[in-house]
Each structure stands twice: as structure tokens, then as C-alpha cells.
A and B are shown apart, each in its own frame.
Chain A
Amino acid sequence: MRGIRRALAQSLATKVILSTVLLSLGVISLAGSALNSRLSDGLRSAAFNSAISESKYTFFDAEYKLAISRDSTVDERKKILADIIVNATTQVVKEARREVIFLRVPRAVKPSISYEMASSFVRPKNIPANLRIEVAKSAQPQDMYTNIQDSAGYSREVLIVGKRISIPSGGPYEMYIVFSLQDQTTTLQLIRNSLLITGSVLLILIALITYLVVRQVVSPVREAARIAMQFTQGDFSQRMKIESQDEISILANSYNEMALSIEQQITRLENLSRVQQRFVSDVSHELRTPLTTLRMASEVIYNQRATFEPVVARSSELLFAQIERFERLLEDLLEVSRFDAEVAVLEPIDFDVINLVKRCVTDFELGEVDTQSGIRVESDSTSVLIKADVRRVERIMRNLLSNALDHADGKEIIVTVVATDSEVGIGVRDFGSGLDESALIRVFDRFWRADPSRARVRGGTGLGLSIALEDARLHNGELDAWGRPGKGAHFVLTLPRIAGESINGRPIKVTPKDFHEDIFYQ
């Protein structure tokens, strides 16, 4: 039942065929039964009319023969009666069609001689009592349909016509002619069977025709669906075939126009993206070469600053520092535009993430002599092998650490590494100025700074966290941020152990373990 319902829900063809067959079944059975009843009525009334007229003649004939036998002997009269019976029953080929019986009217004065007589297959008990009453009452012939048992015990439908006649010296008698309706019943049965067979064949044919017709409509629709599916999957060259001028071809036409327009749009966008990519690459080359010269020149000047006047010496320091900053900014910008152009490629290799984290931390501790923040690395494992783009993971770590150092206010920074079978989580927790709700939403935005008035200790470009997020997502990983004003911040990087696989959870929760919401004091 559920299977049928599913087939109905999923297939237009099944639905249409089923409803057509059901409706046709209704129409055919109505028409069939109407036809059947008309035919049987017609047959019945024809048989009835012929029986009545035949019986009129037979009665008349019998009355006449009896009338002229007034002067005959009893035996002669019995002979006449037998002749009447034989005449009436042998009028037609089939003996079984007619039976005749003479019965004495009951309650009449019982005469000495009985003329009760019958043809071979009828008995007095076959004549229904109420018919006999009718016949006895009336001078006109009376008729009645009934069933009689034949000698073999089968019930047969018959028409009995009876009339009161008088037999000279015998008194009032009833004469009955029994017409067998067996032929008629057989014919009706035949008609009924033919109707049934015709109806069934018709029904099957209708189902078949519906199927063919529906297929004509449904298969272009299916084809359209298939083509649209392929289009969705990126095969923009797919078009529908137009073979006629019907509604389906109109659909195909508009679909093809839509596909063409989408394809053109995509091509245009692809071209734009290619132009953009090209531009990025050109900018990179064009800017980098002069920047290299600038950089080296400023370095030469900077190294000589001891011999300059103080103003020139300071200027050379500023020049040197700003060129460096400019360079970092250019690198970050190029990286961002690579992400935007979707040309950033992952180059995963196997490496130990704990090793990497420790090395980054050491690098920072060596480089950051001016900060008091210590960095502590906590992990249950000593080595966690992952397959990822080591350059990007290191860049994420550096961005997170640099961000934490910028906001730690000299307090400790804790880096935790937790690995599960399929993911690795790296949390960077600081206890500095923290972030409020509105800042958390924007923390990954480009060029966004938590506190614009804050000194830029490390001279970050404002793109670091945004690039870190893109780097994480390129691995199918995630970068989450948590923060409370005055309670510090917590950034959690979650990466799949094998880059590109999906992450099913967060080994480290973004809300730090050490933090409990002070709901009771609010």
C-alpha cells in the first residue's frame, strides 16, 4: 500500500493511468449494465408478445376443436385433447419449448370423466396456485412468470399462459401453455458474457492508450528534468531538443533561452574573474619588483644611519619600518584577493601540528622582547599528525598569536591543542581586554580593529584574522571566536585531521573552560 502511494506520488504517469482506468471502469460498467438491461427487456418482451399471440391462437384452436366435438364420444374427445397437446408442443423444433396441460377447475362439480391431461414434461403441481385462481376467475387468458423444476432437477424460468375453457360433458377446465424461456436466458447469458469480455478488453486497451499518450507528455518532461539536473551539476552546455511546435517545445525553448543566458552570465563572470586574477598577478609582479629595490635601498641607508644627522637618521628608520609594513600589507592584500578570486590552492602534507605550534610560539617569544606575555602550550599528546597545508596552518597560528599578544595586556597566553580521531582543535586564550558581543560579530571583518584608538603594537595589517578564517575554511575547518569585555578572548581553530574532510564537532569548545557566566551576580 505504501509502495503504491509512493509510486503515485512520484510518477505522474502512474497517477494518470490509474485515474483513467478507474474512470473508464465506471463508465464501461454503467454503459454495459444499461445495455444489458435494455437487451434483456427487449428479449423478454419479444418472447412475451410471441407467447401471448401464440397462446391466443392455441386457445382459440382448442376451443374451436372442443366446440365441434360436442357430439363425439369421450374417447374421441380425449383424442382431440391429445391432438391439441401434440399440435401445440410440436409447433416448434425443440420439444422442450412448449408444454400444455389441461386441469379441471377446482371446486367445480366433479364429473365422472376426467379430461385432465398433460404433455410429457409438465405436472399439475408446476402450475402456481395463484395463477389458477386468476384463471378460474377470468374469462381472459392470464399469464405468469415462474420457475419450474425439470426432470433433471434444474430450475428453469418459464412463462405460463392459462385460460379457462370448457370441455363438453367435462365442465370447466383450465388450459395452460408453458413457454420455456431457456433460449432467452442462454442468449442473455451470452450477451452478458460478451459485454464483460468487451468491457475488460476495452479497459486494458484504454490503459495501454493512456500509457502511450502519457508517455508522450511525460518523457519530454522527464528529459527536461534530467537536463536541468545536469545543468545544476555544472554542465552548462546541456540543451533540450526541440522536435515539434507543441507546448513541450515552448517549454524547451524558454528553458534553452534561460540556459543560454545563464551560461553567458557565467562565462562573463568567469572572464571577469580571470581578468581579476590576471590583474592580481600583474599587480603582484609590478609592485614587488620596485618594492624589492626600495627595500634594499632603504636597508642600505638604514644601516648607515649612525653616520647621519639625527633627523635624517630617524627618517631612515621610519622609511625602513614603513616599507616593511607596506610589504606586509601588500602580501596580505594579495592573499585576500587570491581568496576572492577563488584561486587559493591547498597544498596538504603530513606534519606534526604540536611541533608547528611550539615552533611558532618559540619564534614569537624570541621576537617579542618588548612584551611580558608568556605563552604556555598545553596538550595531552606529544605529537599530533595531520594532513594540511603547513604554510597556511602556520599563518593561522601566527595571526592568532599575534592578535592575542596585541590584546593580552602583558598577561599570560594559553595555547591548547586537543585532537580527536577526525579533528584537531587549537585554542588561543588571552586574558586581556576581551571583546564584546558587537565586536565578536565583526572580528573577522577586513581592516576591522577592536579598538581603533589602540596602539598597533605589532603593526598588524588588519587582515590577519580575516585571512586566518579563509585559511581555516579552505581546509574545511572553522575558526571560532569568543570574548567578554575585560575577560579576554578565546580563538579556536578546528581542522579536520585530513584537509578537505568535514569536521563533525569541536574538540575545544569556544567558551573557555576557565570561564563561568556570572549569572547569579547580574
Chain B
Amino acid sequence: MVVDDDQDLAEMLGIVLTSSGFDVDLVSRGDEALEVFRNNPPDLVLLDVMLPGIDGIEVCRLIRQESMVPIVMLSAKGETQDIVRGLEAGADDYMQKPFRDKAELIARIRTRLRRTNADVTGLLTIGDLSIDVTAHEVHRGSTVIQLTRLEFDLLVALAKDPGRVFTRDALLSEVWGYRHSTDTRLVNVHVQRLRSKVEHDPEHPEIVMTVRGVGYKAGGPA
């Protein structure tokens, strides 16, 4: 599903995505997006920030309330606060217009759609969490913790190699599929969000731990 108020751009995205083998729904208004989303649940949402009706960040929040579908924000502004707001509203990734190239867009979409960590199966433990990779579920005791697909991927990426320190760049390439980028805000915001869901006390994380000046690592099993 592509939500963008610029009809020409939406159409162009449609052409590009269709030619790469995706089925595309085009929506041009923020207030229509949710309806289309419910009627025909997509595998992924490309969402512009500036939309008539309700803005993209709000749309993102609303979709996130009812679905864990991957959301990629499209931003023309590139100002930090917009990006961070979008990510905090639940977006998995964002792309700044104009896109670096078509291949990059397609690559990012494929990364978001692909089952990452396909090589990992079975049960992983990290702290007092148990991760059922096959069933795509995270448990703490008997409680199921709801994670978006990206948050799940991030957690699995860290958990499958406990103790290894991942740099932000490494996580970017592993989880987001970036070939090179220095935009580590993406990682920071998602780690914060993941912590708010899985940590007992997000101020003193025990599961996703910061290694100052380097990156993050998974905490050991409890």
C-alpha cells in the first residue's frame, strides 16, 4: 500500500513497484488510508509524512494500534524531529525523498518483507525472555509480548549471538538491510522502543544493553 498525496509520485511508485513484482494500492489521503488498510490488509505500508486529512505520523500510530505490519515512512523534510516522531509513532524505517535510487527503495522493501534470520530456528533465551523464532513469538513467563516484525528481528539479531557487541552500523545492515548509512538514529529509536516493551526498567536495561561508544549487545540468560 502506498499512501502519498502527490498523485504523480504515487503513480510512479506504483509503476516501479509493480514492475518489481508487487501489487500496489494507491491512497492519496490520510483519512482514507485506514479504511483501505482494513479492507485489503497489505504486507507493507509506504507512508508519506505530509498528507491531507490526517498526517502520516497519525496514520502510522493508528495502523500500529491494530497491526504489526511493516511501515516505511517517506519524508521530504529530512529534519531530525520529523524522522524521530515518525519512528516513535511506530514506523520501522524511513526513506528520505528523493530516494537514493530505485534499487535502494526496492531493497529496503524486500528486507522489510523478507523473513529475516531465516537461518535461525527454535527457541532463544535472553534475560528472562524466551523467543520462539519459528512461531514469531516472545514470552516472558506465560505472557506474550507483542512486538512489531522489526522489533522482533532486532531482538533476534541480538539474541542469536549473545554477548557479541553489534555496532549500530552492523545492526543497520543486518536488520534494516542498509548497505551503508550513518543514520544511527534509526537504531537508537528502535532500541528505545524495544526496551520500553521488553525491559522491566527501560532506564536500566538488562536485555538490550548499551556498549558505550560501540553499540549494543544482548544481556546473558537470567
Contacts and interface: CB of A to CB of B under 8 A. Distances in A.
Interface stretch (B23-31, B57-65, B147-155, B178-186): B178-186
A385 B76 contact: no
A290 B99 contact: no
A281 B49 CA distance: 13
B102 A290 contact: no
Interface in A331-348: 345, 347
A293 B77 contact: no
A390 interface: yes
B78 A297 contact: no
B213 A327 contact: no
Given A285-B76, A390-B182, A299 B98 contact: no
A284 interface: yes
B99 A292 contact: yes
Interface string A344-372: 01010111100010010001000000000
A394 interface: yes
Interface stretch (B5-13, B85-93, B118-126, B128-136): B5-13
Contact of A296 (B50, B77, B102, B180): B102
B182 A385 contact: no
Given A285-B77, A299-B102, A293 B213 contact: no
B50 to A, nearest CB: 6
B16 interface: yes
Contacts of B50: 285
Contact of B97 (A288, A345, A385): A288
A296 B8 CA distance: 11
B16 to A, nearest CB: 6
Interface in B148-199: 180, 182-185
Contact of A391 (B13, B16, B99, B182): B182
B98 A295 contact: yes
A291 interface: yes
A394 B180 CA distance: 12
Given A281-B77, A299-B102, A293 B6 contact: yes
Interface in B195-222: 212-213
A299 B100 CA distance: 11
A289 interface: yes
Contacts of B213: 350-352, 385
Interface in B13-27: 13, 15-16, 19
Interface residues of A, number: 29
A300 interface: yes
Contacts of A291: 97-98
Q: Is the interface of A mostly helix, strand, loop or mixed?
A: helix
A284 to B, nearest CB: 6
B66 interface: no
Contacts of A288: 76, 97-98
A440 B64 CA distance: 54
Contacts of B184: 349, 390
Contact of B80 (A290, A347, A351, A356): A347
A390 B79 CA distance: 16
Q: Which of B77, B98, B180 has the most CB of A within 10 A?
A: B98
Given A300-B15, A390-B182, A289 B79 contact: no
A6 to B, nearest CB: 50
Interface string A272-287: 0000000001001100
A345 B80 contact: yes
Contacts of A352: 213
A293 B8 contact: yes
A359 B79 CA distance: 25
Contacts of A345: 80
Contacts of A347: 80, 185
A397 to B, nearest CB: 11
Contacts of A295: 98-99, 101
Interface centre among A281, A288, A391 (most CB of B within 10 A): A288
Pick from A288, A292, A294, A385 the residue with the most CB of B within 10 Å: A292
Interface in A287-335: 288-297, 299-300, 327
Nearest to A335: B78
A364 to B, nearest CB: 12
Contacts of B78: 284
A294 B102 CA distance: 12
B5 to A, nearest CB: 9
A96 to B, nearest CB: 102
A292 B77 contact: no
A293 B102 contact: no
A476 to B, nearest CB: 20
Nearest to B98: A292
A288 B98 CA distance: 6
Contact of A293 (B12, B180, B185): B12
Nearest to B50: A285
Nearest to A394: B182
Contacts of A356: 182
Contacts of A349: 184
A296 B12 contact: yes
A86 B184 CA distance: 126
A281 B79 contact: yes
A300 B8 CA distance: 14
Nearest to B105: A296
**Looking at A285, A289, A345, A390, which has the most chain B CB atoms within 10 Å of its CB?**
A289
Contacts of B98: 288, 291-292, 294-295, 327
A284 B13 contact: no
Interface in A381-433: 385, 390-391, 394
A281 B76 CA distance: 9
Contact of B76 (A289, A294, A296, A297): A289
A350 B212 contact: yes
Interface in A225-279: none
Contacts of B180: 359, 363
Interface of B: 6, 8-9, 12-13, 15-16, 19, 50, 76-80, 97-99, 101-102, 180, 182-185, 212-213
9 contacts: A290-B8, A291-B97, A293-B8, A296-B102, A299-B101, A327-B98, A347-B80, A391-B183, A394-B182
Closest 10 CB pairs of A and B: A350-B213, A292-B98, A288-B76, A288-B97, A285-B76, A292-B97, A293-B9, A291-B98, A293-B12, A289-B6
Given A289-B9, A296-B99, 12 more contacts: A284-B78, A285-B50, A290-B6, A292-B99, A293-B12, A299-B101, A300-B19, A327-B98, A347-B80, A350-B213, A390-B184, A394-B182
